[in-house]
Structure 1
Amino acid sequence: MSPYDAGVSTSDQPAFDPSLLIDVAADFLFDGGPTLTQREVAERSGMDLDLANDLWRYLGFPEVEDDKVAFTEADVAALKVTKRLIDLGVLEEDRLPQFVRSLGRTFARLADWQTRLLLGVLQTEDGGQPPLDVLAEVIPMVEEVQGYVWRRHLLATASRIALRDVRSESERHLVVGFVDIVGYTSRSRQMSPRALGAMVEWFERVVTELVVQRGGQVIKTIGDEALFTVDDPTEAALLALELVERAQADEQFPDVRVGLAHGPVLARLGDVFGSTVNIAARLTSVARPARVLVDHDLAELLDHDDFRLRRTRRVSVKGYEHLEPWALKRPRES
């Protein structure tokens, strides 16, 4: 029985059952069902069984008994490539867990979005096209676009790194920023799922657009909050003001607030860490709606002719008893 009952008119046909798609997807994506155990996969790839099990968990999948048939030739091929990368020194063993976890989290989010999109397509087919035909047509196209986007980001990242001194990641000094939606929790309780989705989509689109325009990088977005970095202090300050102004210009969108801090940052596997990140987060948490707060170090770097900077009273926040925020605004028009 297929997910659609062939030969039944669309008016009489039952609704599409997504659970029936599992076997179809498995057959298409991995050329048939599982034929190998974890132990067999490890032996055929030449990788230690314990390491193979660890990698599977790092990717975000539940543990599988060593002798349970749950794997395919594709798993053997993937482990062979991974082992080769380790042997070449491309993947250092001490960083392997972090790398694989990052890879797993990234693709898990991507797969979740793509699966929902694909199910939406299948549910509107009204039985006119078998699911296997839909998969055969759509998935190679998605895979091709996915590869293209990855290569473009690889080039963009390589270009950014080439334009600055290649030093230890811990020696980099950046502006770190957080921007969040004011009153998100209370507002989201009163919104329909569709309206909430539209608001989050607007937020992510605007943040990404403005950060990129100012030469920055969006590190991650988490619902009502986004974390970004910018090399140039002036560009970071202008970006923060633009984020606030863009939200205020849209009557249907709530205000945002921004916190910026400048200092040493550890960049690792697409994320950033350190006290500079923590200070930016704390500044955002105490900022008023439609306001920008910056730390003392960034305030000293900014040209006071281009911005209005006012020191506010010190605040006590988690980890910092005497944090000194500075309010950032545009200069008054003469």
Structure 2
Amino acid sequence: MPEDPPSRTDSRERPDNADANTPRYTRDELIAELGIESDFAEKAWNAFGFVRRSADDKVATESDVAALRMFAASSGAMPESTQIAMARAIGQTMSRLADWQADQLREIADDPDIPWTLEQMSAALGQVQQLIWRRHMALALERHADHSADEQFDLIVGFADIVGYTSLSRRIDLDDLESLLGSFEDDTFDVVVDHGGRVVKTLGDAVMFTFDDAHAAAAAAIRIHELSENDHLPPLRVGLARGPVLTRLGDVFGEPVNIASRLAGSARPGTTLIDDTTAEEIGADDRFYLKSMPSLRVRGYKHLKARVLEPHRDGPLND
């Protein structure tokens, strides 16, 4: 993108009272209005998840153009590869969300007692979505006030997954599978957030999360196993590992991610495995009991040391 895209005067009539939120630009008209290079525009459009072809559909509003022009003007501070990666992350997230929301809205619209049209409900949902996004953005900016977009942090990384998911998915119908996954994801999310952690992403039968504090992460892991009792979920297994990670585009990367994943995959049903660093941090906490075990031989690690985390029989968690 050029650092200072020229402001163009469109030959089309623009009435003074034109609604800034009414789509007025096709994709090609939007590219021309912004003055960006066509090659980059094709890459970005594709990264957002749209077909690379011209169309007569009006897709962009005056408000969209104003927002996109701001980013186009500041593109010198962001490499093209980062811009495309960001576009891809946004596109993939929005595509999955929209597919799920469209299914839900169509089910609601089929109810004869619902007084709203599909278009009205879609518009309302979009407004709610903006509200939720603004709040999350404000919180994210607070968390990252002293850090760059790509930054190293020392975090506890955790994975929780459903034991025997593959065979289970073959035995139950799709409605029951959807209900099971929904309960697992929602309730695991609640446990992690209630203990001060952050859910990074869900992976179908697994949830990845992070914590700053090892004690909170350990307490959350124990509570996660209780979901199998309270919500009739299958047995779960959890892995926790501490270390430096890179946060990028909402995701987390680094060796602790690999180790936590290997630990979760090696844990017995209903148990949590933690690495030595996490074990040292919580060793004096009387809420937990740490059980020694032989080193693990897993993909990428021939001698991975781990401990089994359990609630202490006489600790506060069992009062």
> TM-score per shorter chain, which class?
0.7 to 0.9
Asked if residue 92 in structure 1 is aligned to residue 72 in structure 2, the reply is: no
Contact residue 292 and residue 308 of structure 2 kept, 8 A: yes
Shift of 1:169: 4.8
Asked if residue 189 in structure 1 is aligned to residue 170 in structure 2, the reply is: yes
Letter in 2 for 1:276: P
Counterpart for residue 289 of structure 1: 269
Shift of 1:40: 4.1
Shift of 1:205: 1.2
> What is the RMSD computed on CA atoms of the aligned residues?
2.6
5 Å-filtered alignment, 1:312-327, equals: 312-327=293-308
Asked if residue 206 in structure 1 is aligned to residue 187 in structure 2, the reply is: yes
Contact residue 45 and residue 77 of structure 1 kept, 8 A: no
Flag the 1:229–1:321 CA change in 2: closer, same or farther, 3 A. same
Flag the 1:312–1:73 CA change in 2: closer, same or farther, 3 A. closer
| Structure 1: unaligned runs, 5 residues or longer | 1-29
**Within 2, Cα distance between the matches of 1:51 and 1:321?**
45
Counterpart for residue 108 of structure 1: 95
**Within 1, Cα distance between the matches of 2:233 and 2:242?**
29
| Structure 2: unaligned runs, 5 residues or longer | 1-20
Shift of 1:53: 0.6
Letter in 1 for 2:107: G
Flag the 1:140–1:229 CA change in 2: closer, same or farther, 3 A. same
**Within 2, Cα distance between the matches of 1:99 and 1:91?**
14
Shift of 1:316: 1.4
Shift of 1:312: 1.1
Counterpart for residue 312 of structure 2: 331
Which stretch of structure 1 is more off in the superposition, 175-184 or 147-156? 147-156
Asked if residue 118 in structure 1 is aligned to residue 105 in structure 2, the reply is: yes
Query: Could you state the TM-score of these two structures normalised by the residue count of structure 1?
Result: 0.80
5 Å-filtered alignment, 1:66-81, equals: 68-72=54-58, 74=60, 78=64, 81=67
**Within 2, Cα distance between the matches of 1:124 and 1:166?**
48
5 Å-filtered alignment, 1:46-195, equals: 46-64=35-53, 68-72=54-58, 74=60, 78=64, 81-88=67-74, 92-94=78-80, 95-125=82-112, 134-162=117-145, 166=147, 169-195=150-176
**Within 1, Cα distance between the matches of 2:190 and 2:58?**
41
Q: Which whole-Å deviations, capped at 9, do the CAs of 1:45-96 have from their partners, x for residues lacking one?
A: 21111111111011112221xxx33442517864663342132359713410
Letter in 2 for 1:99: M
Length, aligned pairs only: 293
- SS of corresponding position for 2:100: helix
Letter in 2 for 1:72: K
Contact residue 177 and residue 258 of structure 1 kept, 8 A: yes
| Percent identity for Structure 1 against Structure 2 | 35
Contact residue 291 and residue 307 of structure 2 kept, 8 A: yes
Flag the 1:51–1:264 CA change in 2: closer, same or farther, 3 A. same
Flag the 1:168–1:269 CA change in 2: closer, same or farther, 3 A. closer
Contact residue 45 and residue 80 of structure 1 kept, 8 A: no
Asked if residue 275 in structure 1 is aligned to residue 255 in structure 2, the reply is: yes
Contact residue 283 and residue 290 of structure 2 kept, 8 A: no
